[in-house]
Amino acid sequence: SYEDYRMNIAPYPNVTPITGRFENEIPKLAKEGREFDMVYVDGQHDKKSAQRDFLYALSFNPSVIAVHDWGLWGVAEGIKECGMEPTYIVDTLAVFERAA
């Protein structure tokens, strides 16, 4: 549950949970000048939405992007069309490590 998640991340002041739709929250964060070293993408699962959310994540130029549900519902296909391949995959989590 979300409350369990909040308790689990409480000891880590550098973790910022942001809930909402990417297309609504990303412009707000960009306007605030927010920067993130890592972005975890777990949004809608169709090919087009996965691609859109991944491109939004790239806009923060993070060192790491982690994408949930890799290999399911078109997520991998959408992101691969961006010309990106994961550095490694663990189960259904794809991790993209990028040069800073």
Looking at residue 59, its pLDDT comes to: 85
Confidence of residue 27 (pLDDT cuts 50, 70, 90): confident
Per-residue pLDDT tens over the stretch 41-97: 887 778 898 898 899 888 888 999 999 989 888 899 999 998 889 999 999 999 999
Sign of CA dihedral 20, 24, 27, 28: negative
Closest CA to 73 of 44, 42, 94, 93: 44
Looking at residue 23, its pLDDT comes to: 80
Looking at residue 67, its pLDDT comes to: 93
pTM of the model: 0.80
Closest CA to 64 of 30, 92, 96: 96
Confidence of residue 100 (pLDDT cuts 50, 70, 90): low
CB-based contacts of 94: which residues, under 8 Å, 6+ apart? 66, 67, 70, 76, 79, 86, 88
